[in-house]
Amino acid sequence: MIPSKLQQRLRRKRRIRAIVRGTSERPRMTVYRSLTQITVQLVDDAAGKTMVAASTVEAKAKPDAAGAKKLGELVAKKAKEAKIASIVFDRNAYKYHGRIKALADAAREGGLTF
């Protein structure tokens, strides 16, 4: 039986999460992409806490590449306010291109180190 797209994405996600872990000094920046919005969280996996969260709804942007860029800048600004300079990027089984790449590049330009 051929696995569905969702099953394949969840398998990729599990493989990535087995490697990527966030700490309080270097939280994990996880991205969720849907048709209606893009959501980003900076997570401390050791404590099980979300330190910073933002979405395209909060950034008043569409979930496209331009909106992802706005969201990346917003997340970088919020991370600086929370005194976070370095993160681990979790692309969450999405390919690193398009919206995901635009978000990551904007976060780097905003001052976050990956």
- What is the distance between the alpha carbons of residues 25 and 64, in angstroms, rounded to a whole number? 30
- pLDDT over threshold 90, residue 74: yes
Q: Using one digit for the tens of pLDDT, what is the confidence trace for 29-63? A: 999 999 999 999 999 999 999 999 999 999 999 99
- pLDDT over threshold 90, residue 73: yes
CATH number at residue 44: 3.30.420.100
Q: Using one digit for the tens of pLDDT, what is the confidence trace for 97-114? A: 999 999 999 999 999 998
Is residue 59 one of the residues assigned to a domain? yes
Is residue 114 one of the residues assigned to a domain? no
- Say if strands 88-90 and 28-33 run parallel, antiparallel, or are unpaired: parallel
Is residue 35 one of the residues assigned to a domain? yes
How many structural domains does the chain have?
1
Please report the pLDDT score of residue 111 as a whole number.
94
- What is the distance between the alpha carbons of residues 62 and 65, in angstroms, rounded to a whole number? 8
Q: Which residues pair with 54 in a beta bridge?
A: 40
Reported pTM: 0.88
Q: Could you list the residue range(s) of the whole structural domain that residue 84 is in?
A: 5-109
